[in-house]
Structure 1
Amino acid sequence: MNIVRPALKLTHDGALAVMQAALATATAMGAPQCIAIVDEGCNLLAFVRMDGARVLSVESATRKAMTAATTGEPTGHMPPEKASALAAATSGRMTNLLGGLPLKVDGQIVGGIGVGSGTGEQDLEVARAAVAAFARHIGNMDVA
């Protein structure tokens, strides 16, 4: 019987690499964003509120990252009745707004990114660019 299991962990440097890709995309789009990156336990590793990003998007970006890291799924695709139940059951800590994506290595969730302050589509575009950069970094290293 195994009583422990090996686990990959997102590092602060990894979170910063994801952040840099998100910032570059948001800047190129001209859409100031709040960007949150969490580890698999929903612990905040990196956060930026770009100049001009909405103050209340600090919370939504963080909750998007937490939701993606917890569920392993993108945010924004849940039926409305389930989304309301999810928010209520978690005291608002989880959300179904577009802009949250999980960070995975070999199918294992190592974290999540949440982006907020633009339209849902802009938020998702920034998050996708960051996840693509993450995947390129993973492809360049030995994770075994």
Structure 2
Amino acid sequence: MTDEKTALTRPAAKLTHAGALIALQAAVRRAEAMGVPQNITIVDEGGNLLAFIRMDGAKLLSRETSLSKAISAASHRQPTSRLDPALEVKLAIASGGRLTNLEGGFPIILDGMCVGGIGVGSGKGSEDVEVAQAALAALGAQV
């Protein structure tokens, strides 16, 4: 019976709210050091919101793009901006607008398992990437 149950499940690591807050704090520190206010979103592996902040002065609508970046990265298990540009519009439509190819989204991969995603938006693409990478570094996640 144990072998049958084992075939029906698999072990899964989960990003905790404490882990999400460590990543969020590291991202905020980097954004503050850069002088670039950001929207920072952290989701679990299923795209469920774990942590979010809109720093003072961050662009309002970038709140939506930061969420889409986090969900896209977690869903595809790869950084945003790596999708085939020919498929961008089709994928966005198929996902109800949740999928984006904008820079600034990364999967959170710990010990080879994707446990979530981070999305950063409000700066230039390279600034969003730098802030997200600071969060990943704080968790010891793969980039």
Of 94, 98, 103, 1:93 maps to 98
Helix, strand or coil at the partner of 2:82: coil
Match of 2:8, SS state, is coil
Instruction: Work out which of the two has the higher radius of gyration on C-alpha atoms and give 1 or 2.
Output: 2
SS in 1 for 2:93: helix
TM-score (norm 2): 0.92
Give the distance between the partners of 1:21 and 1:92, measured in 2 at CA. 28
Aligned residue type for 2:97: G
1:78 positional shift: 2.1
In 2, the alpha carbon distance for the partners of 1:83 and 1:132 equals 29
Q: In structure 1, what is the equivalent of residue 139 of structure 2?
A: 134
TM-score (norm 1): 0.92
Instruction: Give runs of aligned pairs for residues 49-68 of structure 1, distance below 5 A.
Output: 49-68=54-73
Query: Once the two structures are aligned, what percentage of the paired residues are identical?
Result: 55
Deviations 1:74-94 (A, max 9, x none): 001223211122111111111
Over the aligned positions, Cα root-mean-square deviation in angstroms equals 1.3
Shift of 1:70: 0.6
3-state SS in 2 of match to 1:38: strand
Post-superposition offset of 1:35: 0.1
Task: Provide the residue aligned with 2:16 in structure 1.
Answer: 11
Q: Which amino acid aligns with 1:101?
A: F
State the 4+ residue runs in structure 1 displaced beyond 4 angstroms: none
The one-letter amino acid paired with 1:92 is G
Structure 1, 77-86 or 42-51: larger mean CA deviation: 77-86
Structure 1: which amino acid aligns with 2:71? M
Show structure 2 runs of 5+ residues with no match: none
Higher alpha-carbon deviation: 74-83 or 89-98: 74-83
In the other structure, the counterpart of 1:110 is: 115
